[in-house]
Amino acid sequence: MGTVLVTGCDSGIGRAFAEQYAAAGYAVVATYRDLAGRLPDRPGMRHLALDVTDAEQFAAARAALAGEPIDILVSNAGIGLDVRRLGDLDFAYVQRMLAVNTIGPLRLVESFVDNVAASRERRIVIVTSAMGAIGANLSGGHYGYRASKAGLNAIGRSLAIDLFPRGITVVMLHPGWVRTAGGSPDAPMTAAESVAAMRDVVRRLGNHQTGGFYTYAGQPMPW
């Protein structure tokens, strides 16, 4: 097995990714906005501070992993709860969503692309959302969140094109409606169920699927 780096392991989907890949025998680099909420220590798992809006923390994480291959880079860290309507928008929060959800993943890939290229599996997984599908927007609202995820999808597509010559496969995955802090207690899936399905998609990925936008079950999503 190789090495997996996961962002946003403080809770929910990121935590489940770290736990499941570790259980499957991968060496896991779990990153957190707040190390106080880190997972319990276990063989093969390391913990790093990484706020995806903090350039200095990216530099420190890159230095800590200098030259180490990363087989699967999972960009998961994100924020949501974008519920205000037109006329009552919190533009500071909209900017923060763009910083975390859109710019953060791009900085992540730029920081660790050489590590991924040096690995055997060479896969980049971007956890996005159906809310970023412009063609599927029939209800409006959620301006910041929708824009942040649509922008993330555009970035992922460009990354796939630019990194294809290096043998790197990039995929965007919608995790479904999940019972997390950013989801709902009424959601039909647990984080563990969603992640198990996404890991299966990642395991089966072919190079011809690079740049694709899929559900957690591997079904193509509209742009």
DSSP 174-202: E--SBSSTTS-TT-SB-HHHHHHHHHHHH
Please confirm, yes or no, whether 214 is among the known catalytic residues: no
Strands 27-32 and 169-174, sheet pairing: unpaired
Neighbours of 12 (CB within 10 A): 22
Query: What CA–CA distance (Å, rounded) separates 117 from 166?
Result: 6
- Taking the C-alpha atoms of residue 14 and residue 27, their distance in angstroms, rounded to an integer, is 15
Catalytic residue among 26, 32, 145, 216: 145
Among 113, 95, 111, smallest CA distance to 56 is for: 111
Can you state the percent helix, strand and coil of the chain, rounding each to 5? 45, 15, 40
The residues annotated as belonging to the active site are 145
